């Protein structure tokens, strides 16, 4: 135990024993031994033998690499590294190894109530503690499937995400690294419409009404106070929508506080305002035109497309969404994603999955989005980049996560097949390391 902490404790023990017991050597030895026993054990090095190490930023593979991990971080990567004799060796020599996956648009504390229940019914049926526990449950399912980082973009049960983030960070439970948006900021009414006046502003459990630049800035302050890591606006849920000036105020306030600005918008004039106003990402953007996509490329605006498969769209609102309607929107999403890819818009993967399908996990449903990206003509290396490197850039954590390199947190996954050739290989992730802790071992 030669850590700086151990050395400080030993020096303290020797000093204390001399002051208290003077020349009594026996008692002095007992004190020093006592402090030695209460020292924390030295962190063990983990050495991973990676047969095929993927660099998603470049779309390349390095053969037969050694990854050394200590104290939750990667300390060295190379083909000829010496493995410390006391290291725990993890043999992934027949696996494809890469950084953990990321999802930039999640709602893990939220699940739509099946049947004909309106969106707002969740406020009546489920309390924040229940939804926080759902977030833990869903987060662990996704973590075990390889998603080590997620951005929760609102509808998160009255700041429950912030508490969930804290308990995961404290090590009480395994879970993904979370970024939380707090309450969604929007024009009056949140994302509800036409409710009777006597019902009251029930949406304030999940939203903050802000109808001017000053009110938007104040709402951002409130969210950050309660733990928000990203700022989320809903721009176009009504005939009234945010102006370019209001978006610019939000971007200015968020950026001054070191946060990115994500904005829910589908298209039209509202999307023009969002892009020109300086949002970091357009969330959804289902009806974006080629001109708007080109403007996004020019400004460096990310598209987090939440590219729903048609089957998921039909399940979102079975009471009034016919399969034909779902297929129409599904094809529109594929076309928009294809155009964004051809134009060269920066893209980060986001799912927005909030429903259940019988016999399938939330992770199964998130991986269904891969088929949409394939149908849009996006190559597997570019899909991997959108799920790792690009997400890390958008989330402003590239110096912490998103690659396998010295100094970064050890978020590492592995699988038997090569996702650069067959992206569906991601469904078979069988090893997951989060912050240097193995949470799922390859069999």
For 350-365, the pLDDT digits (tens) are 999 888 888 889 999 9
Residue 399, in any domain of the structure:
no
Dihedrals φ, ψ of 264, to 5°? -75, 120
Q: E strand or H helix at 99, and its extent? A: strand 88-99
Query: Are residues 123 and 65 located together in one domain of the fold?
Result: no
Token pair recorded at residue 314: 């039909």
Query: Are residues 187 and 90 located together in one domain of the fold?
Result: no
Query: Are residues 262 and 119 located together in one domain of the fold?
Result: yes
Which residues are 76's β-sheet partners? 68
Query: Are residues 62 and 195 located together in one domain of the fold?
Result: no
Q: How far apart are CA 247 and CA 258, in angstroms?
A: 16
Q: How far apart are CA 67 and CA 75, in angstroms?
A: 8
Q: How far apart are CA 219 and CA 216, in angstroms?
A: 5
Query: Are residues 304 and 390 located together in one domain of the fold?
Result: yes
Query: Are residues 384 and 412 located together in one domain of the fold?
Result: no
The pLDDT of residue 199 is 80
| pLDDT (tens digit per residue) in 168-227 | 999 999 999 999 999 999 999 888 888 888 888 888 889 999 999 999 999 999 999 999
Residue 272, in any domain of the structure:
yes
81 φ/ψ sector (left φ>0, alpha ψ -120 to 50, else beta): beta
DSSP secondary structure of 40-96? PPPPPPEEEEEEEEEETTTTEEEEEEEEEEETTEEEEEESSPPPPTTPEEEEEEEEE
In this prediction, residues 76-87 reach a mean pLDDT of 93
Domain residues for the domain of 24 are 4-38
Query: Are residues 374 and 231 located together in one domain of the fold?
Result: yes
CATH at residue 413: 2.30.40.10
Residue 220, in any domain of the structure:
yes
> How many residues are recorded in the chain?
443
Res. 134 pLDDT band, cuts 50 70 90: very high
Res. 38 pLDDT band, cuts 50 70 90: very low
Res. 321 pLDDT band, cuts 50 70 90: low
Number of domains observed in the structure of the chain: 3
**Is-contact 181 230, C-beta < 8 A?**
yes
pTM of the full predicted structure? Answer: 0.87
In this prediction, residues 373-386 reach a mean pLDDT of 97
Query: Are residues 155 and 203 located together in one domain of the fold?
Result: yes
Q: How far apart are CA 8 and CA 2, in angstroms?
A: 10
Residue 116, in any domain of the structure:
yes
| Vertex 259: Cα angle to 255 and 265 (nearest 5) | 90
């Amino acid at each position: 135990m030669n850590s700086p902490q151990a050395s400080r404790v030993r020096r303290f023990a020797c000093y204390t024993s001399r002051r208290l017991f003077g020349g009594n050597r026996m008692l002095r030895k007992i004190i020093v031994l006592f402090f030695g026993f209460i020292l924390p054990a030295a962190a063990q090095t983990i050495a991973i033998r990676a047969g095929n190490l993927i660099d998603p930023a470049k779309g390349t593979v390095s053969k037969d690499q050694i990854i050394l991990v200590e104290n939750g971080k990667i300390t060295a990567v190379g083909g000829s590294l010496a493995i410390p004799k006391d290291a725990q060796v993890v043999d992934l020599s027949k696996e494809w190894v890469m950084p953990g996956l990321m999802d930039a648009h999640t709602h893990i504390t939220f699940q739509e109530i099946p049947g004909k229940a309106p969106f707002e019914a969740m406020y009546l049926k489920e309390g924040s503690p229940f939804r926080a526990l759902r977030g833990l449950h869903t987060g662990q399912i996704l973590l075990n499937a390889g998603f080590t980082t997620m951005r929760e973009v609102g509808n998160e049960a009255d700041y429950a995400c912030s508490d969930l983030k804290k308990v995961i960070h404290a090590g009480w439970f395994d879970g993904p690294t979370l970024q939380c948006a707090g309450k969604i900021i929007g024009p009056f009414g949140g994302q509800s419409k036409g409710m009777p006046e006597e019902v009251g502003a029930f949406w304030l459990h999940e939203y903050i009404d802000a109808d001017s630049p000053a009110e938007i800035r104040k709402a951002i302050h409130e969210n950050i106070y309660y733990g928000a890591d990203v700022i989320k606006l809903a721009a176009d849920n009504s005939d009234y929508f945010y102006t370019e000036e209001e978006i610019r105020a939000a971007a200015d306030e968020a950026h001054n506080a070191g946060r990115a600005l994500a904005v829910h918008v589908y298209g039209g004039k509202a999307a023009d305002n969002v892009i020109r106003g300086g949002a970091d990402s357009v969330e959804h953007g289902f009806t974006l035109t080629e001109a708007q996509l080109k403007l996004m490329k020019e400004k460096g605006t990310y598209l987090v497309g939440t590219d729903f498969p048609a089957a998921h769209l039909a399940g979102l609102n079975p009471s009034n969404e016919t399969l034909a309607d779902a297929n129409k929107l599904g094809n529109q999403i594929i076309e928009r994603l294809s155009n964004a890819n051809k134009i060269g818009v920066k893209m980060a993967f986001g799912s927005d999955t909030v429903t259940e399908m019988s016999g399938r996990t939330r992770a199964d449903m998130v991986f269904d989005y891969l088929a949409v990206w394939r149908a849009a003509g996006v190559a597997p290396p570019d899909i991997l980049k959108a799920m790792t490197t690009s997400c890390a850039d958008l989330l402003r954590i590239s110096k912490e996560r998103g690659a396998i390199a010295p100094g970064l947190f050890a978020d590492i996954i592995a699988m038997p097949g090569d996702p650069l050739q067959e992206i569906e290989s991601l469904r078979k992730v069988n090893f997951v390391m989060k912050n240097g802790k193995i949470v799922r071992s390859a069999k």
